[in-house]
C-alpha cells in the first residue's frame, strides 16, 4: 500500500537560484525503507523537510496515507502529519531524562498510558534501564537510540532520519545501522533516511534514490543502482567506476581491454563510454604486459590497484587483501563484465 507520494514537488530558496528540489516525484510503500543518496547540496535534507512540513513547496503535492499534506488545496503543519523525525544531532533536551525525552510528544496520552508507552518503546530500543538518566550520561549510540525512541513513541506513519549515523565512529555506526533497521522492521515502520554514505544506503534500504541538483536521477533497488546505473552521474557517484572509450562494431563494442557485448542497441560506428567497476578488472603480472601498476591502496579487506593502460587511461582493480604487487609492476589487464553498461561518448 502506498504510504507517501511526492508529485512534482519543487522548492526554491531564492528566485534567482536553481531549485533545491526540482519537480521531484516518487512513492514509498507501507513498511518500506528508502534511502536518499547524493552529494552535499543535492536536495536530500530539503526533501525530508518538505515531507515533514518544515518547508512549504512552491509547487507540487505531498500526500501521506492518501491525504494531501501540501499542495494547491493548502498545507498541513508538521504536528498534524503523523511523521517522526530523527535529526543529525539527535536534538535531545538536555534538562529532561531519557523517559521525559521519549514521552515529550505523548501529552495527549493519559498518565498511565503514557508511562506504559514510554516503557514499551525504551524496551524496544534496549534502554529500559536508562529511563532516569540524562542525555549527557549516555554514549553517542545510546543518545541515538533515545532519538529513535522519541520519534517512534507516537506511532508515526512515517519516520524520517537525516544523516542519523554521521556523528558515530565506524564500529558504532555499523552497529547502530543494524539496530535501527531491526527496530524499523520489527515495528513495520516506514522509513526514509538521508545519507551520502553509499554502503549505508545499500545495506539498510529496500530502494535507493540518487539525487543530483534537486533532481531524482534514479530510484531503484541497491543492486540495480550499482550494476545498472541509469545515468552517467549515478555511475560516477555510486561506487568506484572507470570509463574507457569503445567503438561499436558488428562484433560488439571494441575497447582497449577487449570486445564487450553491445547491450545498449548502439548503431555500428558509434563511439561510447564503457563503465568498468574495480571488481570487473583482473590482471596477470607479465614482463611483456602493456599495463602498469601505478598505485596500490591496501584497504584491509581488499587491495585496490590503479593500472595505467597504453593509451594513458586508468582503471582500478579490486584484489584480495593478500595480493601484494609493487608500483611499477607490468601487468596484462583483463576485463570480465557481467553487466555491460555504456553511455554516449
Residue 38 has pLDDT above 90, yes or no: yes
- The whole-chain average pLDDT of the chain stands at 92
The pLDDT value given to residue 270: 95
- Residues of the chain with pLDDT > 90: what percent? 68
Q: Cβ(326)–Cβ(312) under 8 Å? A: no
Residue 343 has pLDDT above 90, yes or no: yes
Give the three-class secondary structure for 225.
helix
Q: What is the pLDDT of residues 184-209, one digit of tens each?
A: 898 889 999 999 889 889 999 999 99
pTM here is 0.87
The 10 Å Cβ neighbour count of residue 180 is: 23
- Residue 235: pLDDT band (50, 70, 90) is very high
The pLDDT value given to residue 207: 97
What do you get for the CA distance between the two ends of the chain, in Å?
41
C-alpha cell, 186: 520489527
Residue 151 sits at φ, ψ, to 5 deg, of -70, -35
Amino acid at each position: 500500500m502506498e504510504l507517501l507520494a511526492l508529485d512534482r514537488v519543487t522548492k526554491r530558496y531564492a528566485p534567482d537560484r536553481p531549485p533545491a528540489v526540482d519537480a521531484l516525484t516518487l512513492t514509498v510503500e507501507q513498511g518500506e525503507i528508502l534511502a536518499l543518496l547524493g552529494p552535499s547540496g543535492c536536495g536530500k535534507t530539503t526533501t525530508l523537510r518538505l515531507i515533514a512540513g518544515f518547508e512549504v513547496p512552491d509547487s507540487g503535492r505531498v500526500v501521506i496515507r492518501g491525504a494531501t499534506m501540501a499542495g494547491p488545496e493548502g498545507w498541513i503543519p508538521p504536528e498534524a502529519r503523523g511523521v517522526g523525525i530523527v535529526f543529525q544531532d539527535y536534538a535531545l533536551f538536555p534538562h529532561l531524562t531519557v523517559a521525559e525525552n521519549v514521552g515529550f510528544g505523548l501529552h495527549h496520552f493519559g498518565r498511565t498510558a503514557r508511562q506504559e508507552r514510554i516503557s514499551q518503546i525504551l524496551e524496544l530500543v534496549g534502554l529500559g534501564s536508562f529511563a532516569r538518566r540524562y542525555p549527557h550520561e549516555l554514549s553517542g549510540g545510546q543518545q541515538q537510540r533515545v532519538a529513535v525512541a522519541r520519534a517512534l513513541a507516537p506511532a508515526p506513519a512515517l519516520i524520517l532520519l537525516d544523516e542519523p549515523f554521521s556523528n558515530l565512529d565506524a564500529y558504532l555506526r555499523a552497529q547502530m545501522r543494524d539496530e535501527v533497521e531491526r527496530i524499523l522492521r520489527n515495528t513495520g515502520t516506514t522509513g526514509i533516511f538521508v545519507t551520502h554514505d553509499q554502503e549505508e544506503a545499500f545495506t539498510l534500504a529496500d530502494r535507493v534514490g540518487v539525487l543530483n541538483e534537486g533532481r531524482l536521477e534514479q530510484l531503484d533497488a541497491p543492486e540495480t543502482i550499482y550494476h545498472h546505473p541509469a545515468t552517467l552521474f549515478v555511475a560516477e557517484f555510486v561506487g568506484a567506476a572507470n570509463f574507457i572509450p569503445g567503438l561499436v562494431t558488428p562484433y560488439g563494442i571494441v575497447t582497449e581491454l577487449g570486445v564487450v557485448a553491445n547491450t545498449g542497441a548502439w548503431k555500428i560506428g558509434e563511439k561510447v563510454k564503457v563503465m568498468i567497476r574495480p571488481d570487473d578488472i583482473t590482471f596477470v603480472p607479465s614482463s611483456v604486459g602493456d599495463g602498469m601498476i601505478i598505485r596500490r591502496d591496501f584497504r584491509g579487506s581488499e587491495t585496490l590497484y590503479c593500472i595505467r593502460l597504453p593509451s594513458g587511461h586508468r582503471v582500478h582493480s579490486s584484489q584480495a587483501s593478500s595480493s601484494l604487487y609493487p608500483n611499477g609492476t607490468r601487468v596484462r589487464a583483463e576485463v570480465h563484465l557481467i553487466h555491460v553498461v555504456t553511455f554516449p561518448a
